[in-house]
Amino acid sequence: MSGFFHFLFRIIFIAILLTVFIFTVIYLKPFRIHRKRKISTITLKISYLFFLMVFLTCFYFFLLFGNTENEDELHSINYSLIIISLLIPKIGIFFRRKVKKGRILYNYLFTTLNLTFIIYLVYFLFQSPGIIKK
């Protein structure tokens, strides 16, 4: 019976992550185009949504399939970078309207940061033991 509850937990967890992603898409309105900064705004929003999708996928794999036996790994630089990768893109997307001058540069800077964090998360997912079988 524990197999059923484990399966049910995974389904509920996936539903919660999908709900978070859907609410983010509704809030962000990724295809609402700005008149002056069309390309930079779309690239920022799409890169953030792609980052969020990768982050939620990595979170799902770490929580359900991660190795929790090694506590030294929890205090490593990798987990600090994951926390930073959680905060910086969110700060960038939520404070974008407060930036008036240099907004195009701001959008491209945070697009680059989002793409960098995506690459890091995928790298960390594949280097973590027990998550992705080689």
pLDDT value of position 129:
63
Residue 6 is predicted with a pLDDT of 79
Q: Given this model, what pLDDT does residue 5 score?
A: 82
Residue 88 CB partners (closer than 8 Å, separation 6+): 113, 117
The confidence score (pLDDT) of residue 115 equals 95
pLDDT of residue 130: 59
Look at residues 106, 79, 105, 81 and name the one whose alpha carbon lies nearest to residue 92.
106
Which residue positions in the chain have pLDDT lower than 70?
A: 1, 66-75, 129-134
